[in-house]
Chain A
Amino acid sequence: MATAMPTLRRNWLVTMRAYQWTYFVGTLATGILTVGLAYLAYHSIGGGRAGGGFAAAAGTADYLGYVTVGAAASMFTVRMVLWVAKAQITEQREGTLESQVLAPARRLPYLVGVGLQSLTTTVVEVVVMLAFAVMIGVRLPAPDPVTLLAAFVAASVAVFGISVPLSAIMITAGEAHITQNTLFVAMGLLCGFTFPPAYLPDPLRWLGEALPVTSALRALRAATLDHAPLSAAAPDLLLCLALGLAYLIVGLRLLGPAERVAIQRGGSA
């Protein structure tokens, strides 16, 4: 707590003072335009219907609801990864990575602080995006609050988990732009944000299953579109949590050596 809360406070100050609109508009635009594209395609091309075995593959016939939940999850994922995975390379660029290594603060609470800050901002962005979706006529049938909460927690653990090894990769490579965007486009294809992964060839589908975001999405959709009770979503929730924690543990083990490489290399990233 001694590390997490001050980090949370510091990142809020940075956001409010320096980049308050850049990130907000950027994240929001991606979400709103994804839903907007689906909406226009659904009405002007699909004539208000979805075919191609969508209902069977997605487990719901509600194309717009499916894409909306995916777009919200995508905003959440991108934002969390951008903050948590880039936290340390940003410290390196700003010249404070050495101080961080010298300070008697542990990495996990530091990253949790960063994660909590991005969580609080993303909630605002996702709510604005969902308000837009409801305004254009997307309906999310009464979500099951318990399953939704559980799915939200599992998704947070999942995204936080994959961000930590990514942070290690970024400071080792001294590069963030390519790493993060490659992950984003790969997740966009593999995890089923905007279309059911069942459309993909099997090897790609399995690759998607290795990322906890895929099971998190299934759980989130079960809660928001299907009104699924906790027991029905449990397998996905457990899979998501297990994978997320596995990534987290591997990531924390990698951070130490990665910091050594980054500091030995010196210079700015």
Chain B
Amino acid sequence: MSLTTDLSQATPPNGKPGVGKAGARRPGSGRAGSRDEPDGSAPAPRRRSRQRRERLFQWLFLVPAVVYMALFFGYPVVKNVVMSFQDYTTATFFTGEAPWVGLANYVAVLSSSLFSTSLLNTALFTVGSILGQFVIGLALAIFFQRKFPLNGILRSLLLLPWLLPLIVSSAVWRWILDKDSGALNRFLGDLNIVDTGVPWLTSTSLALIAVVGVNIWIGIPFNLTILYGGLQEIPDELYEAGSLDGATGWKAFRHITWPMLRPVVSVVLVLGVVYTLKVLDIILGLTNGGPANSTQTIATQSYGLSFQEFKFGEGAALGNILVIISLVFAVLYLRASRRAVDE
């Protein structure tokens, strides 16, 4: 169940002719004559060429995926780097000319007053979302370790917020958070906690908090599921041994659960960061970056530059900055996942 499981585990060694797949007899596949020869006695050069054919054949299974990944992930990354050094605008689509401008796009993007706002918002959005999702997800995961009727079905129903299209969630929350007739304000009003409608999505000081809140709601199922899986893998014996030594309740969590869960925790957190950094749907759906850029993140600003202002070069430059930030966490992720597998 791990991504990095050694390929060799499921594959028999194919170095030995006649046992592994590479050396298996395949009528009609070899050159004339080779088909009837016992595998072991084929002259070395012929066997090597047959192995090469075999290799080629095996690669054919992989080719479509490699081509697709190259076109839809590799090419965009390279193209984006190139575009970020060009003056790439709507005019480019007519003239086909995109003059080189060196670092001008990066200078324009980094020196704009909006960049620091976006960077700060991205950081607040990411940290706030991850913290909320993780703490609530972990609390629920621990809760669901209890044995009670309907546990499994209730836990799986909790997945629903995560399976809904993000734009659907955004639309629903926009209606719930509506200032005048949203459910949240009506609920708070009925309890006499507030007397006038709170402008959740239209106030510059509240919009980011509201967006983070919605993103926490979306992310809880993901955190719950992974952390629950991690908790399930901690052997019961550890808790039994711990309880003999007086480690129960908080002490058991502190000294048994947390250390054992650490690898899973680091994977959850870093994956969460990588996913949250690129969030676009929720913010565009809830606030469109507003009001007054108070929910503008690097991702939404990159979208705005490219697809609203048609400054594709600057949008690409900002996108690349986002990639670099993500890559830092990607390195952390790979290290974390390797550690998770080792343990």
Task: Indicate whether A and B interact.
Answer: no
Chain A positions within 8 Å of B, measured between CB atoms, are none
Chain B positions within 8 Å of A, measured between CB atoms, are none
